[in-house]
């Protein structure tokens, strides 16, 4: 299921002393992976967290599985970013997201939860509609001090005037993008698309040495 395409072209773009890697037509059989995602229920993420609004105002669902044949994909990507994979026991992780309440999910005035990961982050997009997908940010309003004591599910929307977009990653079906997850980043939402359908991607986390 996770066979890579032949002769993959790795494109590079430099940003803030780091490199963004883009690889189109990543998997040889992406429809098989999408079919697995759609046929196997994803589970609500951290649904028992204090004050969680998940499954009330939005749906944040995840798969967390292990596939031995995904190891070669992990090895291919880790050789590019020169970092080790973080979650080896469940190497197939997804983000399956849909928004419910339009009043709560005010994307016109806010950005969805800018945050940091552990090292490089790889996203493979599985929506067949091309769209803006992921923003990279600078915190220009000292807003992170206000959100670090809350969770993504209790207070996710942050005022736009406190954040500056420094790069927007474009989603394309079966596109893999890797960026430095230690730069603030978050899901991009600028229309009602994902109120009507799920936003679907695979994610692999790497860890800085």
Domain of 76 in residue numbering reads as: 11-207
Tell me, what DSSP letter sits at residue 4?
A: B
Structure confidence at residue 183 as a pLDDT band (50, 70, 90): very high
**Model pTM?**
0.95
In a domain, 3, yes or no: no
Helices and strands counted in the chain (H then E):
4, 15
Domain count along the chain = 1
In a domain, 5, yes or no: no
User: What SS3 state is found at 51?
Assistant: coil
124-155 tens-digit pLDDT: 999 998 777 899 999 999 988 777 656 789 98
In a domain, 127, yes or no: yes
78-121 tens-digit pLDDT: 999 999 999 999 999 999 999 999 999 999 999 999 999 999 99
In a domain, 42, yes or no: yes
As a whole number, the mean pLDDT across the chain is 94
CATH code of the domain covering residue 42: 2.60.120
In a domain, 188, yes or no: yes
- Distance in angstroms (rounded) separating the CA atoms of residues 116 and 132: 19
In a domain, 24, yes or no: yes
What backbone phi and psi angles, to 5 degrees, belong to 50? -60, 130
191-209 tens-digit pLDDT: 999 999 999 999 999 999 8
- Distance in angstroms (rounded) separating the CA atoms of residues 88 and 66: 8
In a domain, 6, yes or no: no
Contact 194, 97 (CB under 8 A): yes
Structure confidence at residue 49 as a pLDDT band (50, 70, 90): confident
- Distance in angstroms (rounded) separating the CA atoms of residues 209 and 186: 23
Which one, of 140, 136, 109, lies nearest residue 20 by Cα?
Answer: 136
In a domain, 51, yes or no: yes
């Amino acid at each position: 299921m996770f066979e890579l395409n032949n002769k993959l072209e790795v494109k590079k773009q430099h940003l803030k002393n780091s490199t963004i890697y883009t690889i189109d037509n990543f998997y040889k059989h992406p429809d098989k992976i999408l079919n697995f995602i759609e046929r196997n229920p994803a589970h609500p993420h951290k649904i028992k967290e204090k004050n969680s609004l998940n499954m009330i105002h939005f749906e944040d669902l995840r798969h967390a599985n292990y596939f031995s044949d995904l190891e070669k994909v992990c090895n291919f990507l880790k050789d590019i970013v020169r970092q080790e994979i973080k979650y080896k026991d469940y190497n197939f992780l997804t983000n399956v997201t849909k928004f419910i309440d339009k009043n709560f999910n005010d994307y016109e005035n806010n950005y969805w939860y800018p945050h940091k990961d552990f090292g490089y982050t790889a996203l493979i997009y599985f929506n067949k509609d091309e769209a803006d997908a992921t923003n990279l940010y600078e915190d220009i309003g000292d807003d992170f001090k206000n959100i670090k004591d809350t969770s993504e599910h209790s207070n996710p929307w942050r005022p736009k005037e406190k954040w500056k977009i420094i790069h927007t990653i474009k989603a394309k079906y079966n596109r893999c993008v890797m960026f430095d997850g230690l730069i603030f980043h978050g899901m991009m939402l600028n229309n009602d698309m994902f109120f009507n359908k799920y936003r679907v991607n695979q994610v692999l986390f790497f860890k800085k040495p």
